[in-house]
Structures are given as C-alpha cells and as structure tokens.
Structure 1
Amino acid sequence: MGWLLMIALAGLVFVALWRIGKFDKAALQFLGAGLLVAMAGYAWQGSPGLSGAPVPPPQRETLPDSAFASDRGQMLGEFDTAARWLTIADSFHRSGDTRNAVGVIRAGLREHPRDADLWVGLGNALILHADGMMTPAAELAFQRAAKIAPDHPGPKFFYGLALAQGGKFDEAEAIWRDLLANAPADAEWRPMVEERLAMLGQARAASAGMAPQPQ
C-alpha cells in the first residue's frame, strides 16, 4: 500500500507540472531526484508489512498532593474564591507542571490582588517550582499575605511549613509557637499546628541521628 501511494504521488506531481506548463527536462530531473530520495527513505525507514495501530500518548506520572494542598482546606477554607484558583494550581502540581501552577495563581491575583490566601498559595507554588527552596519571591508572597491579613493564621502557618520543609526547623518552630501563644484556646486549627510541631521534633531528632558523631 505504501508503494502504491508513492507511485500515485509521483503521478499527481507529473500531472501538476504538465498543467502549469513546467514539463521540461529540468523539471523532470528535479522530480526524479526528489522521488528517488523519498522512495529511498521509505525503503529504509518504512515498515509496510506491519499493521497500523494508534500510538497512545505518553502518560505523565501523577505526583502526590503537596503538604499545602493537604492542609489548606482546613486552614484557609474550601469554598471561597481563592480555593477555586488553588484547586486548579493543585492539579498542575500533581502533573509536575509547576510553571503553570504559578501562572494560574498569578492570574487569580490579577483579579483579586488583596486575597491573602492566594498570596499564600503563590508562595507555596514558587517554592515547589524552585524544588523546595525558599526564594526571595516566595518569601515576599508570604509577607504580603501576612500584611493583608495580620490576624489570619494561614500566612504564618504555611510560612512556617515552608521553612520546615526547607530544613529551617528553629525558624519554623518559633513561628508556630508564637502562633499558638496568640491563638484562642478553642481555635479549630490549634491541633493542626500542634501536630506539625510534634512532627518537627521528630524531624529534628532524625536529622540529629543522621549527623556524623564526633570522634
């Protein structure tokens, strides 16, 4: 079937040259050379004996939710304007597309520049895009969130979480303990912060255990 198509293509080109009046020796040489190259390439790379089969698109690995995605519903809410933008960003994070995750949140901030939750989400997205590093842009995003909503626990909690994930345990602990010290006794999010402090203690102990012992 492949060879028949090649012959049919050659015939169509032959007819086209004849119709436009370019049917001369030079055109025939050019046509012949082109067809020979095409046929040689087909003979070398083609597989006419194989049956056709659609090739499925490559599947991108789905990554687990980030700590921010797991905790933000309880700390920031799940049904407000910011949550819609952050949910879209989470889907990009799970597919490994951190660049578009940042872009989505920035688009949300263009419409809602005073939304503290979106600024927190931007800080987290920038850290994920930088492979876990606290960049100046990410730190600025957390600071902006805290300035917009100074009494909201979310900016401080997730800033501490980002610091802890980057190995800055002392700074994270100081932020979380200050958050608890100024929180109402019946705050719904207190157990979350206390749990993270306990995990921080375990991470610090594990880190100390892996440190080389003095001789």
Structure 2
Amino acid sequence: MGWVMLLLIGLASGVLLWRLSLPRLVWTMAGAALLFGATGYALQGTPTLPASPAKPQSNKLDVAADIVELRGAFFGRYTADAAYQTAADAMIRISDPASAVKVTLGGINRNPRSPSLWTELGSVLVTHDAGNVSPAALFAFRRAMILAPRHPGPPFFLGLGYAQSGQLENARIWWQRSLQLTPPGASYRNAIAERLMLLDQFIAMNKAQQQQ
C-alpha cells in the first residue's frame, strides 16, 4: 500500500509541475526528492547491481505556449514590444539565452520605460542564469514594477521566476500580489488563480512529504 501511495504522490507531483509550466530542471529536483523519500521508505538497497552510465541532461530550452499566451494577455500581442519578446523566445528555443538578453536590451534601449520589456528582461535573465532569480533579474522585475506599480504582469512573472528556481513560498507571494492587482473581469484572472491554487497544493504536498 505504501508503494501505491508513493506512486500516486509522484503522479500528482508531475501533473502539478506540468500545469504550473515549470522548467525541466525543477522536474529533476522534484524527482530527486521523491527518489530520496522512496529510498528511505524502502530501507534497503541493491549494491550488487551493475552500474550503468549516467545520461547527460538535455540543454534544450523551451518557451511554454501557455506562458506566451498569458504574456500576450498581460501586455498585448501586436505591439512593437511584443516583436522583441517574440525574437527573444526564438533565441531561447535555439538554446541561446544570451542572445535573448541582447535582443530584449535592444528593445529597452528603444523604449526604456516599457514595463513589458523590463519584465521580459527579468524572465530571460532567469533562463540565462539556469533558472535562478539573480540580482540582475530582480532589478529588471523591480524596474518594471516601478514603471507600472498597478500592473499584475511584472509580479506574476517574478513569481514564475521564483517558481522556476524552486523558491515556492516567494513565488506564492508574488502570484498572490498579481491576483490582487488583476481586475475582476480580466481575461487572465482565472489563469493566475488556477496557478496559485495549484502552487498551494504543491506546497502543501511538499510539507506533508517532509513531515512523513
């Protein structure tokens, strides 16, 4: 029965990670945590099994379609800023986040008061820095929030960056802030609320697993 529950927890974790649009690095971290728990549960090993060579992790990057759609709902899909965002997406898809940063900086040079481009710069810096919210990324997100303090987009994507880095409690703070700033009739309100709900479930499941 214990193995059945462990399998169910693993499947539930996978569904939540997929729905939250988190990168594969976070999937790896969650999988490692589950394997560690399974090892402790089993209380036995198989040291006589022959070793097998480890497979290197793929460096291929991707841009989640639902996040692109949500970004368009936040900031607009057919604007000059959106053209820079699309170009940055293309650079990330070919595993060149450094060029994505350069493209976005080019847009900021053209329009230095664009909250959408400063938000995009924060996002691509998170990707460039292997899923970490670096000081540079945090500066970009904060600049976006200074330029548009009542806009829900910058805090949402800062929360997404924290989720990608595994800092789920910080992610929850900023997604909650984004939801508070979202007008009741906004088309993207349900998308934010759903992700916040799934994140809460994932946090609760992690806490329950740690207690066990």
Pairwise same-fold verdict (TM > 0.5): yes
Amino acid at match of 2:165: G
Equivalent residue, structure 2, for 1:145: 144
Aligned to 1:120, what secondary structure does the other structure show?
Answer: helix
Structure 2 CA distance for aligned equivalents of residues 120 and 203 of structure 1: 25
C-alpha change, 1:70 and 1:212, in structure 2 (3 Å) is farther
Q: How does 1:1-215 map to 2 (within 5 A)?
A: 63-66=61-64, 68-208=67-207, 211=210, 213=212
Instruction: Map Cα deviations across residues 153-174 of structure 1 (whole Å, 9 max, x no partner).
Output: 1111111111122222222222
Equivalent residue, structure 2, for 1:36: none
Amino acid at match of 1:117: S
Under a length normalisation based on structure 1, what TM-score does the superposition of the two structures give?
0.65
Deviation at 1:212, TM superposition (A): 7.2
Kept after mapping to 2: 8 A contact 1:76/1:154: yes
Under a length normalisation based on structure 2, what TM-score does the superposition of the two structures give?
0.65
Q: Which runs of 4+ in 1 moved over 4 A?
A: none
Structure 2 CA distance for aligned equivalents of residues 179 and 63 of structure 1: 26
Deviation at 1:209, TM superposition (A): 5.4
C-alpha change, 1:116 and 1:164, in structure 2 (3 Å) is same
Kept after mapping to 2: 8 A contact 1:63/1:95: yes
Equivalent residue, structure 2, for 1:43: none
Q: Which has the larger radius of gyration?
A: 1
Root-mean-square deviation (Å): 2.2
Unaligned runs of 5+ in 2: 1-58
Kept after mapping to 2: 8 A contact 1:68/1:124: no
Structure 1 CA distance for aligned equivalents of residues 69 and 202 of structure 2: 19
C-alpha change, 1:190 and 1:151, in structure 2 (3 Å) is same
Structure 1 CA distance for aligned equivalents of residues 177 and 130 of structure 2: 28
Structure 2 CA distance for aligned equivalents of residues 207 and 99 of structure 1: 33
Instruction: Map Cα deviations across residues 96-142 of structure 1 (whole Å, 9 max, x no partner).
Output: 00110111001111111111100000000001001001100000000
Deviation at 1:178, TM superposition (A): 3.1
Instruction: Map Cα deviations across residues 51-100 of structure 1 (whole Å, 9 max, x no partner).
Output: xxxxxxxxxx8643247435312222111111000100100101100110
Aligned to 2:122, what secondary structure does the other structure show?
Answer: helix
Higher relative contact order (Cα pairs below 8 Å, separated by 6+ residues): 2
Kept after mapping to 2: 8 A contact 1:127/1:133: yes
Unaligned runs of 5+ in 1: 1-60
Aligned to 1:131, what secondary structure does the other structure show?
Answer: coil
Structure 2 CA distance for aligned equivalents of residues 133 and 211 of structure 1: 23
Structure 2 CA distance for aligned equivalents of residues 123 and 74 of structure 1: 18
Equivalent residue, structure 2, for 1:12: none
